A and B are shown apart, each in its own frame.
Chain A
Amino acid sequence: MVRRPSRRAYIGQWVLLAGVVAFGWLLADMVAGNYARKNLHFGFGFLADQAHFDLPFHLISWNLFDTYGRVLLVCLLNTVLVAAMAIVTATVLGLLVGVMRLSVNWLVRNIALAFIEFVRNTPQLVQLIFWYVGVLQTLPSPRQSITLPGGVLLNIRGLFVPDAVMREGSGLLSWLALAVLIATPFVWRVKIGSSRVGAKALFLLLLALVLFAAGVDHVEYPVLQGFNLAGGTQVPPELVALWIGLSIYATAFIAEIVRGSIEAIPKGQHEAAQALGLKGLQRLFLVVLPQALRIMVPQLTSQYLNIIKSTTLGAAVGYSELMQIFAGTVMQQAAKEAETMAIVMAIFVGINLATSALMNWYNRRVALVER
């Protein structure tokens, strides 16, 4: 027998590892055996095959001869789009509702409370279907579109926004506009001498707008043609339903996180801020929230991960995301079940780990620096 406890632990861990590896190998072997027995082949070569079906919603170009690999990219972008939209919206609304929950005004406080309790205690899928079937599908038909200012049309087929048709060869201008846009927040922080550039950086936004506008040839308005509206950009109701559904649901949870974090800040901080003569909102934004943020971030991370995972509920409202198209249509048409599911799971693990990493980095940045 090995006497030294440390050595014993060491050996024990290796034996356990060997057991885990052996078990994993056994599982893989069993799957491979089952595949062989059923005359099925495991492989990812199908990603290069042409798909030959239409995708209802795509951010990048799509035609029937594109490959399953491109389907994956289209769906991934769709998933990321709705997740990003929902995260931003839920954060803003969550902050608002969370602060409302602590308001001294009885009505405001209780409206927030009722909202949170109602949303938190009904199933997310039911809410999604409600938004899609109960709200968006009651909009009028294309022929009776609701006209909004600026040539925007709203009907059951979605929101139709005028499109800017770019002049030929104006690509460079647009890229320049984008670059200026991205540079704005960095310029804001640049120090000239001892003072920051600050709000003067907003001038760059104006510059970006001018650069973009210089490349526009004409504006294309949506008009009724045949069965549908033609021209302009369509925001499909499926996207809107999923976006609202995910945002509202997460808002309720984020609001509670915000409330809890604010309440965790010692009362003395409020009083000190008051003693300094800060007004209500100043107290909140300059003193309380920066401290509450440290408590919020780790909990927010798990809410964000939940939103990302819940985008798969889009399959229920006909939104073309990974679950519906890749783990649905592609899985069936290519007859590659294990492979498509493995890819979808790997992608979600990837997106979520990246989000976690980003949030952890942010958490370290806002964390109290201890010396």
Chain B
Amino acid sequence: MHYWTRLATCGAVVAGMLGFASGSWAQEVKSPTMDAIKKRGELICGVDTGIPGFAFQDSAGKWAGLDIAYCRALATAVLGSADKVKFIGTTSKVRFSVLQSGEIDVLIRDSTLTLTRNTELGLAHGANNFFTGEAFMVKKSLNVAHAKELNGATICVLTGTTLELNIADYGRANNIKINTLLFERPEEAFAAAEAGRCDGYTDDGGSVAAARSSMKKPDDWVILPELISREFLGSYTRQGDERWNILVRWTHMAMLEAEVLGITQKNVDEIKKTATNPEVRGFLGLEENFGKKLGVDNDWAYRIVKEVGNYGENYDKYFGPLQLPRGWNELYTKGGLQYPLPWR
């Protein structure tokens, strides 16, 4: 090729990249994320790589779990179908980068919001679908009854989590030394605990119950009563798209509100036909236009309950088999912390 032709080609490539880069910057729409989802016809949801209760795949490869239900509810709200979701399993290490880079629309992955993540990682709080704390699971044969007796023990932990800091802080506060062994994925940590490489496993309360259920003999393991931290799990979005964040928040509120109003997947059609209560009618989109204000159809909440169910139904479905009582995740009316904002 002639020199000048080659140069011109180079120049064209650089100019093209310039144009592409500036073009993708220029847009300023109300909710770019929601627009992108509609255009794509699919919600891309970042979930756990596999933990019973929150997000796991059955033998046919179909995803299920509380976090999965939230992804499906969001897809229902935006696209009208709970099946228009692509699930992306993310490890604890890369989850926030994947969200930040725009690879996923929303992160619903049993992740805790902390001050550092809120500020330094640009994580925007959507909703909390699970209140818990860090718990320990140890072999029954060790005869340990309390976390404070773990001095000198080795505990398997997932890397890149708040757990690593909690466990060190707890040891410091109680003047004991708990050794940790770090793993990237739960499967490897479970295997190491099972084999006896560690004396126990630590994770958020819900996940520890899940870990116990996946041990060869769950009865050989005991979950210690102490929760050594507060973990605030839920759905998160990137900062900079307020409207999308608002929809994520109210999708959670819709699932809670349905439970408060006693609307379930089973009776929602019946109630829609006969409802006279203004709160119920407003919720189901028969009156008012809450959906429109959020940028979705007016019967979005009805569809969520119809396709996914209310919060309590999903909790029982996924955590019932793990024998994890609702505790903090009970509705506020029953002494729990789950409190839907006013549907006004």
Contacts and interface: CB of A to CB of B under 8 A. Distances in A.
Nearest to A39: B122
B8 to A, nearest CB: 11
Contact of B184 (A22, A320, A328, A331): A328
**Residue among B11, B197, B240 with the highest chain A CB neighbour number at 10 A:** B197
Contact of A329 (B7, B18, B160, B181): B160
A361 interface: no
**Residue among A19, A26, A41, A318 with the highest chain B CB neighbour number at 10 A:** A318
Contacts of A133: 188, 191, 195
A324 B116 contact: no
Given A226-B152, A332-B92, A316 B168 contact: no
Given A38-B240, A332-B161, A337 B3 contact: no
Interface string A22-53: 11001000100100011111000000000011
A22 B13 CA distance: 13
A337 B268 CA distance: 45
A228 B239 contact: no
B181 A56 contact: yes
B181 A318 contact: yes
B196 interface: yes
Interface in B119-175: 119-122, 142, 151-154, 159-161, 164-165, 167-169, 171-172
The SS class assigned to the A binding surface is: helix
A229 B151 CA distance: 13
Given A19-B11, A318-B182, A329-B164, A335 B121 contact: yes
Interface residues of A, number: 52
Interface string A118-142: 0000000000010001000110010
Contact of A316 (B18, B179, B188): B188
Contacts of B195: 133, 137-138, 156
B275 interface: no
Interface string A287-328: 000000000000000000000000000011110100011011
A133 B187 CA distance: 11
Interface stretch (A7-15, A81-89, A190-198, A351-359): A7-15
Contacts, number: 133
Contact of A328 (B3, B93, B100, B154): B93
A52 to B, nearest CB: 6
Interface string A51-66: 0111010000000100
A337 B199 contact: no
Given A333-B165, A335-B121, A324 B159 contact: yes
Contacts of B267: none
B164 A237 contact: no
A108 B321 CA distance: 56
Contacts of A324: 159, 182, 184
A225 interface: yes
A54 B168 contact: yes
B17 interface: yes
A332 B3 CA distance: 48
A30 B100 CA distance: 15
The 5 closest A-B pairs by CB, nearest first: A335-B120, A137-B195, A332-B160, A226-B152, A38-B122
Interface of A: 8-9, 12, 15-16, 19, 22-23, 26, 30, 33, 37-41, 52-54, 56, 64, 129, 133, 137-138, 141, 156-157, 225-228, 230, 237-238, 315-318, 320, 324-325, 327-329, 331-337
9 contacts: A12-B6, A23-B14, A23-B17, A54-B178, A54-B180, A329-B182, A331-B93, A331-B160, A333-B160
Interface of B: 3, 6-7, 10-11, 14, 17-18, 21, 25, 92-93, 96-97, 100, 116-117, 119-122, 142, 151-154, 159-161, 164-165, 167-169, 171-172, 178-184, 188, 191-192, 195-197, 199, 238-240
Given A228-B179, A335-B120, 6 more contacts: A9-B3, A26-B18, A39-B119, A318-B192, A327-B93, A332-B96
